[in-house]
Amino acid sequence: MKNIRVRFAPSPTGFLHVGNARTALFNWLFARQQKGTFVLRIEDTDIERSALEYEEKLKEDLLWLGLDWDEGPDAGGAFGPYRQSLRLDIYKDYTHKLLDSGKAYRCFCTTEDLETERKEAQAKSGVAIYSGKCANISATEALQRIQDGEKASVRLRTPGRGALAFPDLVRGELKFDLSLIGDPIIVRSTGHPAYNFAVVVDDSLMEITHVIRGEDHISNTPRQILVYQALSLVPPHFAHLSMVMGRDGTRLSKRHGATAVDQFQKDGVLSPALFNYLALLGWAPPEDQEVLSPEEMIGLFDLKKVSRSAAIFDYDKLYWINRQHTKTLSVRQMAEMAFPHMKSAELLPDIMTEAHWDWLEKVMEVFIERVDRFADFPLQVDSLFRYSPVEMDEETKKEMEGDCASRVVSLFGQKIANIEHFDYAQFVTITQEIKQDTGCKGKDLYHPLRIALTTRSSGLDLDKFIPLVEEGARLDLPRSLKNCCQRIYEMLGYLQQRGSIQNEETES
Ligand code: GLU
């Protein structure tokens, strides 16, 4: 069988968003599965909007996602150059071929002419199709006008009637009415090739066998097939992927949340998780397997099973998949992922000692179940740092007014004051003693203590909370973390101020 060759052909005019990344990923999966070739081609003929920094960032984002290319800028290959701005001479040759054979012609209409024509046509028939006004200018006259300094674009001569159909690997046969397709511009008056022309020349010369791209290009495909026909070239197979939509059914945009691959990376989504989720946008692996590695997906991917219905980008599902992939990391790896986020929230120092890492690993073990992505850690961990009895909500404040509450917390204060390295075992012992001494038990005993230590009536279990704050308090951190003893005394001070406790009760 012929070697399968696919390509991802981004225009470097912005960041790689998830829709394009999904297109790249389906091409990559198909290539890897078929033991074919994945080509990266940079379509930078729109010189005003293209920028080298976008190209660099696109490549970085693709590699971060795990999508490597066999041929392309940097990687090289036998079909280069792989950047359209370096292929202008090639397009010129093909333009001449089409002009010489009469399959294309020069058009001298100015933008203003075309605008007037478009408005008139729209008013008359509701559709704006180029009239073919310049189609009959002879080659000799055209050449003369060019020599006289007139600017001209080049248009492909199309039949203007009949139908054109092609089989789409995702959507079945697609049929177009050629009377609705005017002669498309293939070379602009600036000399730059139009997308529909350059893409055909490149796909053909690069021996691309399958063009897999977004369905926003469906209307371009008949125009491209007409170029193939005019050049007597065989078109590749086409597969148009459905659009990626938000949950409200409109095209995914920033309004829905993050859309740039770069943003997901910054938010601390793991690349295999984003890879996994993007692959599920329009493709369902057999037996409802959802959490898969790239290698597993290569084995299972089937272009024929790609759905034609719109793919809905569900952030919750992505985060669920992210959590599943996160579970496969070691705690140290988790800590390394969380570190930059904690550092920029000024919860960790720039230079970490082994003791800092140990503590961070414990933080991971406790909080990992509570976060969607690593960027969420600072907000969660902030609950360890925040300690302000005055800011407690009214209900919690009320809970501290009971008779047991004041006695339990005061006694706890007396007992903890003599302990150097407080830990959870000591908490259990002290609590038992307080139970004996005060007769307070159950909720009356534990609730005031939980509130005194955390300022909240619910949250982390104290067997997890106590070691985290005790160890954290011993570390040199940008923002200090209060240990249990400090917390209890701060709470007692607050309660005294409110008049919930008499002064002498706290004196040990
Ligand atoms: N440069 C085009 C784009 O980014 C490529 C479309 C295609 O794959 O043919 O949309």
Q: Report which ligand 1 atom has the smallest distance to the Cα of 220.
A: 9
Q: Characterize the bridge pairing of strands 104-107 and 153-156.
A: antiparallel
Spatial CA neighbour of 264 closest among 255, 251, 275, 249:
275
Instruction: Classify domain 386-507 by CATH architecture.
Output: Orthogonal Bundle (1.10)
Least confidently predicted of 90-99, 110-119, 164-173: 110-119
pLDDT at 175: 98
Nearest Cα to Cα of residue 132 among 151, 112, 104, 162:
104
pLDDT of residue 97 exceeding 90, the answer is yes
CA of 167 to the centre of ligand 1 (A): 19
| Three-state SS annotation for 159-203 | CCCCEEEEEECCCEEEEEEHHHCCCCEEECCCCCECHHHHHHHHH
Task: Calculate how far, in angstroms, residue 6's C-alpha sits from the geometric centre of ligand 1.
Answer: 13
| 180 CA from centroid of ligand 1 (Å) | 23
Inter-residue contact 376 to 342 (CB < 8 Å)? no
Which residues, 6 or more positions from 14, have their beta carbon under 8 angstroms from its beta carbon?
A: 54
Q: What is the pLDDT of residue 164?
A: 97
User: What are the structure tokens assigned to 291, written together?
Assistant: 């959490």
Whether residue 453 is predicted with pLDDT greater than 50 in this model: the reply is yes
pLDDT top residue among 185 and 74: 185
Residue 225 has pLDDT above 50, yes or no: yes
The yes-or-no answer on residue 254 being catalytic is: yes
CB 484 within 8 A of CB 453: yes
Ligand 1 centroid to residue 9 C-alpha, Å: 5
Task: Specify the pLDDT at position 174.
Answer: 98
Catalytic pick from 254, 305, 327, 443?
254
pLDDT tens-digit readout, 242-295: 999 999 989 998 899 889 999 999 999 999 999 999 999 999 998 889 999 999
> For residues 318 and 269, is the Cβ–Cβ distance under 8 A?
yes
Q: Report the Cα–Cα distance between both ends of the chain, in Å, rounded.
A: 88
CB atoms within 10 A of CB 160: 15
Residue 498: which pLDDT band, with cuts at 50, 70 and 90?
confident
Q: To 10 degrees, what angle do helices 462-473 and 424-438 make?
A: 120
Domain borders along the chain are 386-507
Ranking 117-121, 122-126, 240-244, 319-323 by mean pLDDT, the lowest is 122-126
- pLDDT surpassing 60 at residue 194: yes
**Which residues face 177 on adjacent strands?**
163
User: Given a cut of 90, is residue 476 above it in pLDDT?
Assistant: yes
Helices (runs of H) and strands (runs of E) counted in the chain: 20, 11
Residue from 5, 11, 85 whose mutation best tests the ligand 1 pocket (most atoms within 8 A of CB): 11
* pLDDT, tens only, 349-363: 999 999 999 999 999
The model's confidence at residue 23, banded by pLDDT at 50, 70 and 90, is very high
Write a three-state SS string for 42-60: ECCCCCCCCCHHHHHHHHH
pLDDT of residue 81: 97
Cβ neighbors of 159 (< 8 A, separation 6 or more) are 178
Beta-strand (E) ranges in 10-129? 37-40, 104-107
Q: Indicate the burial class of 347 (C-beta count within 10 angstroms; 0-12, 13-18, 19 or more).
A: buried
Q: Whose CA is nearest to atom 6 of ligand 1?
A: 9
The pair of three-digit structure tokens given for residue 8, joined into one six-digit string: 């991802």
For residue 213 and ligand 1, the question of a CB distance below 6 A is answered with: yes
Query: What phi and psi values does residue 260 have, to the nearest 5 degrees?
Result: -85, 135
Mean pLDDT of all residues belonging to the chain: 94
| pLDDT, average across residues 305-318 | 94
User: Does the pLDDT at position 504 exceed 80?
Assistant: no
16 lines ligand 1 (CB under 6 A): no
Of 122-126, 200-204, 414-418, the poorest mean pLDDT is in 122-126
CA 292 to chain centre: 18
Q: Determine the Cα–Cα distance for residues 171 and 149; give it in Å rounded to an integer.
A: 47
Q: Is the pLDDT of residue 41 over 80?
A: yes
Q: Is the pLDDT of residue 507 over 50?
A: no
Over pLDDT 70: what percentage of the chain?
98
**C-beta 194 within 6 A of ligand 1:** no
Q: What is the pTM of this model?
A: 0.91
Query: How confident is the model over 373-399, as a mean pLDDT?
Result: 94
Query: Is residue 192 scored above 50 in pLDDT?
Result: yes
93: Cα separation from own chain's centroid: 40
Atom of ligand 1 nearest to the CA of 10: 4
Which numbered atom of ligand 1 lies nearest the CA of 203?
9
459: left (phi over 0), alpha (psi -120 to 50) or beta: left
Q: Looking at the chain, how many residues does it have?
A: 508
What is the rounded distance in angstroms from the CA atom of residue 13 to the CA atom of residue 55? 8
| CB count in 10 Å sphere of residue 317 | 14
Burial of 306 (0-12, 13-18, 19+ CB in 10 A): buried
When pLDDT is averaged across residues 384-412 and rounded to a whole number, the result is 93
* Ligand 1 site, residue 199, Cβ cutoff 6 A: yes
Determine the pLDDT at residue 1.
Answer: 60
d(CA 208, CA 87): 17
9 lines ligand 1 (CB under 6 A): yes
Whole-number Å distance, alpha carbon 128 to ligand 1 midpoint, is 24
Residue 506 pLDDT grade (very low, low, confident, very high; cuts 50, 70, 90): very low
Q: Which atom of ligand 1 is nearest to the CA of 8?
A: 8
- d(CA 159, CA 25) in angstroms, rounded, equals 36
Q: CA 321, CA 74: separation in Å to the nearest integer?
A: 33
| pLDDT of the residue at 508 | 41
Q: Tell me: pLDDT of 365 over 70.
A: yes
